[in-house]
Every structure is written in structure tokens, then in C-alpha cells.
Structure 1
């Protein structure tokens, strides 16, 4: 009989079920309470009933959990100092979208050597999220693979759908069932229509193929996620962090009848992926908010212990501790300066 399936599959390794992994890396009742409370605060900020500024800040990606935890401990102290004006949520990004090839993140390749031990990656991700929560910081991540949330979403306070996947029906459906507030980025071209449509779709009931906690394929039906919003991140046509860009976004959101809260990303295309330009972009975002634009509810910053980034792959022993192996980040001292400026300005 002619072979007609798995012609290009070289390996198919079963994963532990989500229920099994959650039993191995357990979420405590205190952590569950913290996650629920932090999500409610973020919802209140998006709705305008909590006037604090929402700041999603942290490494572009987590590749070294030791450095990531050191960063978190520093950030937790800073967050406590500004908590009356700024609500800080740490970027804890485990999945990296790739246009062609490259390191796909800690979940896919935790050893950073191409061995792709996803079971170990998922275990490390849950373990690390618990450590971050225990510092007193809420967590933020981009959800890329639609199966991943079953393993880690119970430890996430806020999530994002990236520019490459905002137009994806699969991701809009997934977002409709997620339990945390979520931001859709504008498309890589810079267009806002896809993100506005995504917010609309994710807010509606959906039924789609998914994976149950038992690991079985299932038909998932959702009630819709009412806590979705737009993220302006610039695009191929240039940045979109200016006051006119924000006003245009608010107008389109209002006309579409969806949440008109706006978050602006100071990194990615808004700074041309140049970490030296990120502070000036961020300061303009804060200037707009301080000038009275309460619909501009938050911002995103890519930040690590050491600024810039480093080439990867390279021997792991040669990697600079605390420096990104994906996008360029601002350094810790610059982060402290910008956060303190934010609290003072607001």
C-alpha cells in the first residue's frame, strides 16, 4: 500500500497532558489569588476605572531563567516604589515567531541547542512563571501556539497576540476563550483594521478545535473575551506612536464599537528595533498621557539587565549574562530612569 501520510514527519513525540504538567508544577492557592487580582486590576485600567498607567516591561524573550529571575527581583522593588501611579507587569516571553528560521523560544528549545525538548520547555515555563509571581509581579506573554495556553495560561495576567498572527482566525478564536485581558498588535504593515477586527471577533462566542486538559482533541466553545484591546507597534510604513496616530486608532475603535483603550509599544517598528531610540519614543508616549489622553492606558518596553542584544547561535559559555539573544533591549539603569520619570510625570 502506498504511503500517503507522515511523508515529511521525522519524529512525533507525545507530550504530557496539560493536567499532568499542572499537577507536577502546581499553582498554589495564593498564586491563583494573585493572578485573579492582577487580571482584575488590568481590566480596571483598560476600562478607565483605575487611573494608573499600565506598563508591560521586561526582556524581549526569556532564554536564561537565572538572569530573568534576577531581573524580576529588581523590577519587583521598582514596581513597589511606583505602584500608586504605574502598574508594572513583567514580560515573560517564551515563544518567538519566526518569518523563516531561528531560535523559537524557551518552550520550543530550552537547551538552546536545537534539541527541541518541548516537555522540558513547558516545565521550565511553568516553574519560571511561579517564581515571577512569587516576587509580587504580574506576568505577561505572547501566546503563539494555540496549544500552549492549556499548559501555562493559569499563571498569566495579561497576554498579547503578535503582529504576524493578529489576522489569524485561529488566534482570534483562541483569544475569545482566554481568561486574561489581551492585546492585539497592529499588522506588520502597520494597518489597524486587522487588529480592530480581531478585537471584535475575540469578543464574540466561538467554537473551534482545541485540546482539553486531558490531552484529547476537543471542540471548544467560548463566550468571548470582553477584555481585548489594541497595541500600536508601528509597521513597514513607519512608526505610529504619535498623538495623531493614537487619535486615529481611538476613532477607528470607537466607530467599530469595541474597547477604545490604546496601548503603545515603544519597541519593535516604533523605534526601528533600535534600543537607543526606545527611550525617546517612550517619553513621547508618556507626554501624551500626561497631557490628558486617558484613553492611552499603557505602554510596552523591552528591557533587560544589559542593553542591546547579542548574536545567536554561539557557544552558550560565550553568551553575555543578562543580555537579549533576540531583539535589542534597553539596559536596567535606563529602565529605572524611565519608570521613575513616568511616576513623576503622572
Structure 2
């Protein structure tokens, strides 16, 4: 066999027993989940801001960032729901490079999945304990959902995962918000078909079990830009793109039409400072159209304490070791600007 079996890892139940979510934090998560549900179903007019590092590489700096976010949250919570990005798995286009704290709790050392699972849960739980803010993460590996299902309030399905059947079926069993990104091709119909699949019940094999799911009515779209056949990035956050998406939603039998705009990735051509302008344009588009005000429920922004990025091992505290991010000063200003639009 070409597989080398290293060691059998604990089950999600075993990991959760080792590092449980305290009862008082369970209540916080339930309240946060309900708040986010109310936004996506149209019951609440608050706006989602999913914001934080490209990858959560260091517990201390990530929790420092989330504490800063919590202080701002106190000033804007009547208008916004701030959801920190604590992304613990990092997709790599070529398979090379740092793959997130769940794989490598120390980015300068070899992978250690057992230590990574513990480090991931410890960081998420600490962030909730210190701030009361439950987080978003990307579901890169569907079989890992059990390790985080009790701690996340928002899950993103990436551009390269959204066409995968197992991702779609797994989301159908979630009870939290799930944003399905458009694929790298930019095809809206692929994204909407993924939402349709996630919103409906399914029977399938999952982690060695035959399972039934009931569908997730909080599955929704995320626009992150596209890449054309020549490798050029094509944005899809403009007014015309949003109207087109609204029209396509109108023609499909989908619950809770909703869209979140990813201001980075192919929308910004990975020019991280552009996220400020893009976010403001999206907020302006919501003001111009009652349909878009109803459709666009939030934005995703990559930000950290220090702006830009660095190589693994460079040692700058609070600076991304993957994609470049907005710095804290710009982040704080932008959040207040978003609140002013609401």
C-alpha cells in the first residue's frame, strides 16, 4: 500500500471529552448562533462582518486580535455582528506550504495532527472565554467536522471545495450558517446548486456511518471573485454582479436568499488594502437597491494585528504567514465605517 499509517487519532468525541466547551460557553454559542440565524432569515437587520487572519497560526496573537475585536464589538453590536475568522486549516493550491494549526501547531516543525487538534480547540475555546465571540472557520476536510461542531458559529466552504459532493452533503447536516463560495471559474450556477444540495436532506456514508441529514436552511452564497482561463482575477462584487445573483436566486427554490461578499482573494486580486474600497462599494450598492439590501447580509475581510504578511519563522507578532492582511488600525476604522452605513 502507498499509505503509511502513522498512528490512530482520537475520535471527535474523545477530543471533545479531553477539551470540552464549558457549559457557560455553550450558552454563549447558542445565543450567537441564534443571532446569526436571525440575520440570514431576515428577522434581524444586523450585518455580518466575518473578519480576521488569513490563517490562525498562533494562539496568543489570534486571541489578542479577537480581544481587540470584542472591544470594537461593544461599540457596534446594535448594528453589526462581528464574527472572528479563526481559520485552522489552510488550503494550498499546489499542496505545498503551511496548512494550518490543525496540521502544524508549530509552523516551523513537522505536522503533528494530535497536537494540532488539541491546539485548535484550545485556541477556539480561549477566544470564546475571553471575548464572548464565537468564530468562523473553513471546512477544508469534511471528516473533521466533529472536532469543531460544538465551537463554530459560521463555516465557509471554499472555492475548490464547493463542487465536491461530500462537502455539500456534510453541510446539509450542519445547524449553523454555512457560506458556499463561488468556484474559481466564477460560475454562479455551480455555487447555487451547492446551496440547493446543502439545503436538502441526504443519506450517505460519513466517517464509517450510514447517516441521514435534514438539510441546512442557513446555507448561502459567498462571492469571492473568479479566475479566467488566462489566470487573471475577475471581481464579482460589483452592483451588476449582485443584481445578477439576486435574479438567479429568484428563479430557484432556495430558502433564505443571502449573500456574503469576500472582499479579498480574487475580488481584490490579493491586494489587501483594496478590501477597504471593495467593502465600501458593497455597502453603497446595498443602499442603492432594496433587493440588494435584502440579499447582501455580510462581508468577509482578512485582517490581523500587523498589515501585510511574512515568511514562516520571520517572527513578527500578529502578522500573517499566509496571505497578506489589513492591519489593526485600518481594520478598526473600516468596522466603524461599515456601521455608519447601517
Query: What is the TM-score when the length of structure 2 is the normalising length?
Result: 0.94
Write out aligned runs for 1:6-17 (5 A).
6=1, 8-17=2-11
Once residues 158 and 24 of structure 1 are traced to their aligned partners in structure 2, the CA distance between those partners, rounded to angstroms, is 23
Q: 1:200 aligns with which of 196, 217, 220?
A: 196
Once residues 262 and 205 of structure 1 are traced to their aligned partners in structure 2, the CA distance between those partners, rounded to angstroms, is 22
* Displaced runs of 4 or more, over 6 A: none
Q: 1:275 aligns with which of 268, 272, 275?
A: 272
1:284-330 deviations in whole A, cap 9, x for unaligned?
A: 11112233423211100000001111123xxx3x3211011111110
Structure 2 stretches of 5 or more lacking a match?
229-233
Contact 1:250 1:262 in 2 (8 A): no
How far 1:94 moved relative to its partner? 0.5
1:1-31 deviations in whole A, cap 9, x for unaligned?
A: xxxxx2x223331001111111110111111
Q: 2:134 aligns with which of 132, 138, 141?
A: 138
Q: 1:288 aligns with which of 279, 285, 291?
A: 285
Q: Which residue of 1 aligns with 2:44?
A: 50
Write out aligned runs for 1:246-257 (5 A).
246-257=242-253
1:13-56 deviations in whole A, cap 9, x for unaligned?
A: 10011111111101111111111111111111011110011110
Query: What is the TM-score when the length of structure 1 is the normalising length?
Result: 0.93
Structure 1 stretches of 5 or more lacking a match?
1-5, 212-216
1:67 paired to 2:51: no
Once residues 127 and 154 of structure 2 are traced to their aligned partners in structure 1, the CA distance between those partners, rounded to angstroms, is 14
Cα RMSD, aligned residues only: 1.2
Once residues 27 and 277 of structure 1 are traced to their aligned partners in structure 2, the CA distance between those partners, rounded to angstroms, is 37
Q: What secondary structure does 2:316 align onto?
A: coil
Q: Which residue of 2 aligns with 1:221?
A: 212
Q: Which residue of 1 aligns with 2:117?
A: 122
Q: Which residue of 2 aligns with 1:3?
A: none
1:37-84 deviations in whole A, cap 9, x for unaligned?
A: 111111110111100111100001101111001001100000111001
